[in-house]
Amino acid sequence: MGAAERREVVVVGGGPTGAAIGIGLASRGRDVLVLERAPVWRWRACGVFTSPVTVAALRRLGLGDAELEAVARPIPAMRVETPSGTGFRLTYGDDGSLRSAAVGLDRSALDPLLLALARDAGSEVREGAAVRELDLDRGRVGLVDGSTIEARVVIGADGIRSIVARRAGVDRAAFLAPRTGLTFHVPDPSPGSSRDGRMVVFDGGYVGLAPIPGGRVNVGIVLGGRCRDRLRRAGAAEVVAEVLAGVVSADDDPIDWATASGLACDPIEGAAPIGHRVSRRHGPRWLVAGDAAGFLDPFTGEGLHRALVSAELAAAAVDRLLRRSHDALAAYDRAMSARFRSKDAVSLIVQAFLARPALFERAARSLADRPAVRETMGLVMGDLVPASRALDPRFVAALLRP
């Protein structure tokens, strides 16, 4: 076996989190190697709907107006619809511009673009480099091709099935019951039109419909309980067709959802379970960021924002560690907890409501009838105001009173 390659920082995972960390550290003059297991980008189950704060984070990474227009399609609002027909519209403070609107992202364009920016910043990016083994105490990374890398710091940016989190012994099951996600795209015959996204709740799950660039609409379905059993018995194609057949057509829908499953632009991709947590986010020579640091489905979209915020915090912390600030990684862990503790609580409450249809229906009617309450909920879900506002007893009372 040849001598181990020595690097300052190895980032495991070349998705948006890993690429953003690569940009942040390389721009600080650090020696960074980003390892991406896939040799070329391929569609996989991932989030596409996100709030305006994600657009701001992408700008901080170096994306300009032209690049953002190519990868992000403004979505004026997300319309949430219950099985009983109640609906409300979350606008996320939109004023009609790309800078303030929620967006649907073309991940096939965004993800490679972020990796290219990481390269331009000075990171080395190796695609098709799958990790086989890890010794986090020694900073040793063994690849499938037999090569070994020794790093001063290893960063796990490798998603909900993070090998870094597993090897560190910090991976834990989510607080929520197991759920499965299915995603694919269908064509949009009017790609230049402005249309809302839709979040349609049904018994046992929900389906999100988000327009994205390139004349497509992303379909994301989350299944729990009996729906997951049905998925195991009947398969993804049949379950997707059944779910979409129950979506009532709206005036601005691009296609008839009853026939949408036969128009898929790409294969149906799945992820299960779609949530997990970690007992801690760091050790002496490692940390985890993005979905690897814990993922809780927030129902109306914020996973990518959390990924980019964690990347910013991780890059700053690792740079401080390499400048001999020995508390830097622990401080990163504390900063993540402080930043997302309240939002996690709100997301868990939303999921608890979803699991109890009568309670969710009551909350939906309140949001539909009370503009001030609805506006606050949209701002909280979009990370535009502190999530603690939704935990204020006065807000809860306004939401639940008859």
Q: Supply the DSSP string of 259-315, one letter for each residue.
A: GGGGG-SS--EEESS--EEES-SEETTEEE-GGGG-B---SS--HHHHHHHHHHHHH
The residue with tokens 């609107």 is 101
Residues pairing with 78 in the sheet? 90, 197
Note the Cα 120 to chain centre separation in Å: 24
For residue 90, which of 301, 339, 348, 305 has the smallest C-alpha distance?
301
pLDDT at 253: 86
Note the pTM of the prediction, 2 decimals.
Answer: 0.94
Dmax of the chain from CA atoms? 71
Q: How many residues does the chain have?
A: 402
Would you list the domain boundaries of the chain?
5-62+107-174+274-343, 74-100+177-271, 359-400
Residues pairing with 88 in the sheet? 80
* DSSP-assigned letter for residue 15: S
pLDDT at 275: 81
Is 74-100+177-271 in the same CATH topology as 5-62+107-174+274-343? no
The residue with tokens 């939303």 is 350
Q: Are 197 and 209 in contact (CB under 8 A)?
A: yes
Four-point Cα dihedral 21, 26, 27, 29, nearest 10:
140
pLDDT at 276: 86
For residue 14, which of 123, 103, 92, 138 has the smallest C-alpha distance?
123
| 42 CB neighbour count, 10 Å cutoff | 10
Is the bond preceding 273 in cis, omega lying within 30 degrees of 0? Answer: yes
Q: What CATH code would you report for 5-62+107-174+274-343?
A: 3.50.50.60
pLDDT at 92: 84
Please state, in angstroms and as integers, the Cα–Cα distance from residue 149 to each residue in 70, 253, 291, 323, 371, following that order. Answer: 36, 51, 24, 21, 55
Residues pairing with 36 in the sheet? 127
pLDDT at 98: 55
Q: Are 21 and 289 in contact (CB under 8 A)?
A: yes
Q: Are 227 and 272 in contact (CB under 8 A)?
A: no
Burial of 4 (0-12, 13-18, 19+ CB in 10 A): middle
Q: For residue 269, report the phi and psi dihedrals to the nearest 5 degrees.
A: -110, 145
Q: What is the pLDDT along the chain (402 residues), one digit of tens a residue?
A: 468 999 999 999 999 999 999 999 999 999 999 999 999 988 887 889 998 899 999 999 999 999 999 999 999 999 999 999 999 999 887 655 556 789 999 999 999 999 999 999 999 999 999 999 999 999 999 999 999 999 999 999 999 899 999 999 999 988 877 889 999 999 998 888 888 999 999 998 999 999 999 999 999 999 988 898 899 999 999 999 999 999 998 888 888 888 887 888 989 999 888 888 999 999 999 999 999 999 877 676 678 999 999 999 999 999 999 999 999 999 999 999 999 999 989 988 888 898 889 999 999 999 999 999 999 999 998 888 999 999 999 999 999 888
| 371 CB neighbour count, 10 Å cutoff | 10
> Amino acid identity of 110?
L
Calculate Rg over the CA atoms of the chain: 21
Cα distance between residue 161 and residue 49, in whole Å: 21
Q: Are 20 and 307 in contact (CB under 8 A)?
A: yes
Write the CB contacts of 193 (distance below 8 Å, at least 6 apart in sequence). 252
Topology at the third CATH level for domain 74-100+177-271: D-Amino Acid Oxidase; Chain A, domain 2 (3.30.9)
